[in-house]
């Protein structure tokens, strides 16, 4: 609770929230989550929205977290929020890849930017404007409200020596990474987190990626697969976001909007820091349970990157919004490279 008190005090000071909220109409929203609250980081940081916004707003804004499926099946979140049937949903943009592949540019870009670049592009390089346009045309206002550190490349039931061994596998992998793996001869499958373990155990799939080691450990994938691969080329950084019905968002006061923005900004900070600090412990525990940790060779990564560039070109031809987002992000990264190269130290 001390962290929450500091957050509440700082926001109240900056916004004059104590006085401003007195005349604001109280907000009581239900928020359906894609991730269970007990799932480290992906779920727990969504649950934190409920606590933080209550403290920061002095109870004027309340957003109640509901476990996956409690209100609607998670895949229905997007349409439910768009129609106004649900005020809010906790998810990640990549899950709406089927609506438009441009959504994946904000959470799951193969060989994409790390956190410094992603935040720079999103907030100061044109990304936010495209993101808003993408959601707004569906009647949704969204904002980044958490961030996953680089993910693992995947779990494999059989021993993999190189990307040549991927051909013919059925693998749980989403969005742009899935399309890239398809070029490698993989059959991609999109499954919710709760279905991945039984699918691996029963042999319905041969491999799976889901998240970072802390999350994968909690889901128990090590009990049914022992070959664990890195780096997570398909998802170097991931936004989780809070989706809200746009009419509901527009109906909030400026203070209430700022309070939600502040909570979400703090969530991003918390989850990146927490994620970076906790992965080594999880990796060591996985090793103690017999998991073999592997790293793709440079030649393997080159093959994956070549496949990805082909996929990016195909999606650019299909989706004008994807093309805009992808080209905007690439332009920012090209410009950013001078600064990045000058400041990147060799390892000591």
- Dump pLDDT digits (tens) for 324-336: 999 999 999 999 9
Residue with tokens 């373990």: 197
Average pLDDT estimate for 288-297:
98
Which pLDDT belongs to residue 190?
A: 86
* Mean per-residue pLDDT of the chain: 93
Indicate if the pLDDT at residue 252 is higher than 80.
yes
Q: pTM value?
A: 0.91
Indicate if the pLDDT at residue 14 is higher than 80.
no
What is the pLDDT confidence band of residue 7, given thresholds at 50, 70 and 90? low
Which pLDDT belongs to residue 192?
A: 83
User: Could you tell me the residue ranges of all domains in the chain?
Assistant: 2-150+236-277, 154-235+285-308
User: CATH topology of 2-150+236-277 equal to that of 154-235+285-308?
Assistant: yes
Indicate if the pLDDT at residue 9 is higher than 70.
no
Indicate if the pLDDT at residue 16 is higher than 80.
no
What is the pLDDT confidence band of residue 194, given thresholds at 50, 70 and 90? confident
CATH architecture of 2-150+236-277: 3-Layer(aba) Sandwich (3.40)
What is the pLDDT confidence band of residue 298, given thresholds at 50, 70 and 90? very high
- Classify domain 154-235+285-308 at the CATH topology level: D-Maltodextrin-Binding Protein; domain 2 (3.40.190)
């Amino acid at each position: 609770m001390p962290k929450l008190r500091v957050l509440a005090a700082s926001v109240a000071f900056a916004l004059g929230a104590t006085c401003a909220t007195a005349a604001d109409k109280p907000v009581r929203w239900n928020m359906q989550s894609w991730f269970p609250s007990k799932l480290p980081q992906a779920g727990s940081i969504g649950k934190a929205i409920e606590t933080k916004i209550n403290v920061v707003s002095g109870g004027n804004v309340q957003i109640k977290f509901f476990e996956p499926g409690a209100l609607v099946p998670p895949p229905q979140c997007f349409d439910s929020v768009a129609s106004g049937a649900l005020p809010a949903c906790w998810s990640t943009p990549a899950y709406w890849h089927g609506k438009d592949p441009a959504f994946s540019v904000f959470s799951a870009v193969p060989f994409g930017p790390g956190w410094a670049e992603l935040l720079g592009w999103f907030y100061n390089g044109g990304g936010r404007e495209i993101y808003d346009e993408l959601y707004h045309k569906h009647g949704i206002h969204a904002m980044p409200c958490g961030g996953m550190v680089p993910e693992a490349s995947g779990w494999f039931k059989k021993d993999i020596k190189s990307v040549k061994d991927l051909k013919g596998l059925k693998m749980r992998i989403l969005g742009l990474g899935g399309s890239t793996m398809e070029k490698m001869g993989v059959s991609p499958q999109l499954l919710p987190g709760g279905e991945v373990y039984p699918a691996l155990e029963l042999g319905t799939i041969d491999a799976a990626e889901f998240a970072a080691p802390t999350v994968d450990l909690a889901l128990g994938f090590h009990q049914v697969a022992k070959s664990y691969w890195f780096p997570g080329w398909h998802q170097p950084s991931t936004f989780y976001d809070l989706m809200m019905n746009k009419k509901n968002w527009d109906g909030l006061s400026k203070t209430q909007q700022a309070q939600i923005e502040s909570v979400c900004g703090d969530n991003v900070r918390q989850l990146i820091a927490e994620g970076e600090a906790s992965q080594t412990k999880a990796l060591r525990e996985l090793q103690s349970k017999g998991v073999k940790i592997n790293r793709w060779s440079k030649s393997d990564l080159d093959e994956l990157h070549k496949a990805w560039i082909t996929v990016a070109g195909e999606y650019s031809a299909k989706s004008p919004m994807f093309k805009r987002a992808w080209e905007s992000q690439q332009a920012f990264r090209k410009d950013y490279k001078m600064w990045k190269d000058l400041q990147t130290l060799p390892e000591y």
